[in-house]
């Protein structure tokens, strides 16, 4: 059923139809309204892989493999999977699953998805990194599919937890606009799309034919509220039942409220700065103090990158700006995750050494730079960028802040139109190779590497390490390779990791949420008690 954005008459007819369909719903089912802070820029599940886009998509679309709130792999559209050989994976699919329009789901839809998702026109960053290694897709039968990879990919089932499965019949020749309008937004997931108002809200109705445990909610509204304080206020006023990332300054008050419930878990997301090695010609220039453009860029110097890193007081940022809702770090993986290196410390704050490194690199007087950030993607990005600008200015690097909406930020980033930027990575592969491949791996269209390598960083030694890690079947050897890569990235200062977020939600009344390590806010995990 197609969704509509504007017509009141069509919306009323659609709502009436949905009410009739929902007539047999259990009496306890209710409406749920959630407020999320991240920017959603498309309902096309293959257009841009970000957590906000994915959490909306995962209400409509299933994946072959799902994750539990704790991060463990669980059956999705595939009930079983096994490696037949080091380069062949077989997935047995769930029987009796239907699309929202009643047509049956089969292995052919999986084959179609793998072909479509590899290169959606005008995408800002999709799934090429996890699909390119698949050289052959064999539909063995309606409920069995085999995937052959160019080399061993032991993490393939984990990678596929990010890939929403779409239907061939609705997706053939469908554009991103067709998904945004609702025309092609027909999934197998727990909810059906009712309407999408860009930048404001997404409305759903429960899919009573879903194969999983039925959600407790007949209708679901996801409101898009980038302002942290506004989300918290809406929860307190009763306009929302649940919010993600509540205002850190309000947490003590929320935790003391009898009607509010706060749930949290250590998260996987890391915030970092990327120094652009090869920015586009139209990126903001780096200049000397008189305004003359510096060529080559100072950021091509490892000493300059290190100076910028140790000029940042990470502990101060997490304590004074994040108010304890984040932990400082010197690497992209949090403790307890495969590939975390306890010997890679949080870089010590040392502005005097930073000044010496700048002088050794040939910039005793510093330079001028622009630091870009989104202003509506993750909490406190602008405040953190401003704090870093002050810290860099203290070592002679005068820093201007370029804070822009995520829709503009992501488009400019994909074109390398930054000099340096504040970014974040969700680590949703639950190990170290995802970032190595996608963010700091050398760009390569044939392999799909470097999909988010906006800086155009390239290190052949790092690429070789990562290729070995991705293909290594033995977990112990694989982790050793990732640890070597962590050290190399840290030594070369390819990125400047800052802190890991804690994942926090707040609910009101009889609504409770089971916190997820992957930070997704999913209505199927929201309980009514």
List pLDDT tens digits, range 114-127.
999 988 888 877 78
Residues 367 and 272 reside in one and the same domain: yes
- Shared-domain flag, residues 77 and 213: yes
Asked whether residue 249 is domain-assigned, the answer is: no
Q: Report percent pLDDT > 70 for the chain.
A: 95
| Interaxial angle between packed helices 302-310 and 351-360, expressed in degrees from 0 to 180 and rounded to the nearest 10 | 170
State yes or no: cis peptide before 271, omega within 30 of 0.
Answer: no
Same domain, 385 and 482: yes
Percent of the chain at pLDDT > 90 equals 85
Residue 57's φ and ψ, nearest 5 degrees, are -60, -40
Distance CA 343, CA 335 (A): 11
Domain shared by 71 and 153, yes or no: yes
Do 183 and 58 lie in a common domain? yes
Q: Minimal CA–CA distance to 276: which of 441, 123, 413?
A: 413
Predicted pLDDT of residue 404: 97
Is residue 309 a contact partner of residue 496, using CB atoms and an 8 Å limit?
yes
Confidence of residue 511 (pLDDT cuts 50, 70, 90): very high
pLDDT at 8 over 50: no
pLDDT of residue 120: 87
From 122-126, 424-428, 467-471, the region with the lowest mean pLDDT: 122-126
Rounded CA separation 6/462 (Å): 50
Kindly report, residue by residue over 88-143, the tens digit of the pLDDT.
999 999 999 999 999 999 999 999 999 999 888 888 777 888 899 999 999 999 99
The answer on 321 and 206 residing in a single domain is no
Task: Say yes or no: 27 and 83 in one domain.
Answer: yes
Report the pLDDT value the prediction gives residue 29, as an integer from 0 to 100.
53
Answer whether residue 336 shows pLDDT above 80. Answer: yes
Domain at 177, CATH number = 3.40.190.10
What confidence score (pLDDT) does residue 129 get? 85
**Do 207 and 310 belong together in one domain?**
no
The full DSSP string for 267-327 is: EEEEEEEEE-SS--TTSPPPB-TTSPBPSS-GGGSHHHHHHHHHTS-HHHHHHHTSTTSEE
First-to-last C-alpha distance (Å) of the chain: 32
Same domain, yes or no: 324 and 210: no
User: Does residue 25 register a pLDDT over 50?
Assistant: no
Q: What's the mean pLDDT in 415-425?
A: 97
| 429 and 307 share one domain | yes
Task: State residue 82's pLDDT score.
Answer: 97
Is residue 357 a part of any domain in this protein?
yes
Strands 496-508 and 326-328, bridge-based pairing? antiparallel
Whether residue 29 is contained in a domain is answered as: yes
Tally of structural domains, the chain:
2
In a domain, 253, yes or no: no
Containing structural domain, residue 419: 268-501
Give the CB-side neighbour count of residue 60, counting CA atoms within 13 A: 32
In a domain, 57, yes or no: yes
Under a CB-based contact definition with an 8 Å cutoff, are residues 456 and 443 in contact?
yes
- Regarding whether 303 and 175 lie in a shared domain, the answer is no
- Per-residue model confidence (pLDDT) at position 10: 34
Domain co-membership, 285 together with 218 = no
- As a whole number, mean pLDDT of residues 173-198 equals 97
Q: What is the mean pLDDT of the chain?
A: 92
Which of the two residues, 15 and 515, has the higher pLDDT score?
A: 515
Q: Is 393 inside any structural domain?
A: yes
Asked if pLDDT for residue 6 goes beyond 80, the answer is no
Who wins on pLDDT, 338 or 81? Answer: 81
Domain at 470, CATH number: 3.10.105.10
The average pLDDT across 174-182 equals 96
Q: According to the model, what pLDDT value does residue 121 have?
A: 86
Residue 517 lies in a domain: no
Single residue among 160, 189, 224 that ends a domain in this structure: 224
| Residue 239: inside a domain | no
CA distance to 9, 19, 20, 117, per residue, from 16 (Å): 11, 5, 6, 34
């Amino acid at each position: 059923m197609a969704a509509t954005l504007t017509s009141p008459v069509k919306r009323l007819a659609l709502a009436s139809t949905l009410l009739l369909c929902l007539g047999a719903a259990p009496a306890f089912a209710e409406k749920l309204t959630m407020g999320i802070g991240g920017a959603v820029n498309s309902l096309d599940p293959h257009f841009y892989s970000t957590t906000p886009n994915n959490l909306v998509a995962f209400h409509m679309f299933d994946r072959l493999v799902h994750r539990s709130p704790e991060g463990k792999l669980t059956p999705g559209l595939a009930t079983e999977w096994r490696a037949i050989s080091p380069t062949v994976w077989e997935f047995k699919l769930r029987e009796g699953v239907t699309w929202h329009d009643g047509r049956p789901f089969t292995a052919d839809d999986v084959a179609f998805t793998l072909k479509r998702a590899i290169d959606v026109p005008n995408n800002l960053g999709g799934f090429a990194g996890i699909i390119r290694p698949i050289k052959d897709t064999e539909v063995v039968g309606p409920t069995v599919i085999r995937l052959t990879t160019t080399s061993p990919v032991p993490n393939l089932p984990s990678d596929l937890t990010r890939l929403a499965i779409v239907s061939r019949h609705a997706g053939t020749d469908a554009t991103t606009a067709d998904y945004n309008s609702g025309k092609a937004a027909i999934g197998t997931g727990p909810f059906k799309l009712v309407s999408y108002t860009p930048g404001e809200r997404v409305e759903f109705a429960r899919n009573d034919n879903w194969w999983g445990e039925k959600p407790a909610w007949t209708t679901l509204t996801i409101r898009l509220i980038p302002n942290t304080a506004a989300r918290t206020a809406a929860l307190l006023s009763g306009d929302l039942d649940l919010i993600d990332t509540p205002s850190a300054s309000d947490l003590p008050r929320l935790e003391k409220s009898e009607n509010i419930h706060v749930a949290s878990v250590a998260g996987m997301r890391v915030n970092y700065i990327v120094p652009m090695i090869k920015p586009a010609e139209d990126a903001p220039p780096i200049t000397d103090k008189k305004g003359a453009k510096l060529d080559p860029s100072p950021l091509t110097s490892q000493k300059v990158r290190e100076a910028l890193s140790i000029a940042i007081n990470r502990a101060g940022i997490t304590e004074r700006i994040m108010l304890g809702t984040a932990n400082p770090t010197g690497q992209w993986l949090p403790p307890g995750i495969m590939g975390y290196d306890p010997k890679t410390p949080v870089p010590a704050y040392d502005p005097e050494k930073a000044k010496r490194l700048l002088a050794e690199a040939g910039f005793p007087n510093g330079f001028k730079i622009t630091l870009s950030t989104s202003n509506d993607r993750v909490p406190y990005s602008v405040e953190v960028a401003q704090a870093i600008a002050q810290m860099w200015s203290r070592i002679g690097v005068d820093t201007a802040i370029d804070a822009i909406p995520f829709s503009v930020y992501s488009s400019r980033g994909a074109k390398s139109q930054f000099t340096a930027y504040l970014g974040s990575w969700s680590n949703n592969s639950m190990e170290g190779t995802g970032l190595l491949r996608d963010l700091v791996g050398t760009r390569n269209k044939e392999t799909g590497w470097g999909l988010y390598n906006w800086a155009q960083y390239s290190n052949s030694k790092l690429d070789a390490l990562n290729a070995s890690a991705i293909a290594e079947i033995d977990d112990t050897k694989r982790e050793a390779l990732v640890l070597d890569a962590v050290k190399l990235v840290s030594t070369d200062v390819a990125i400047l990791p800052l802190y890991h977020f804690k994942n926090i939600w707040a609910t009101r009344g009889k609504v409770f949420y089971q916190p997820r390590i992957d930070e997704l806010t999913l209505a199927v995990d929201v309980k009514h008690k």
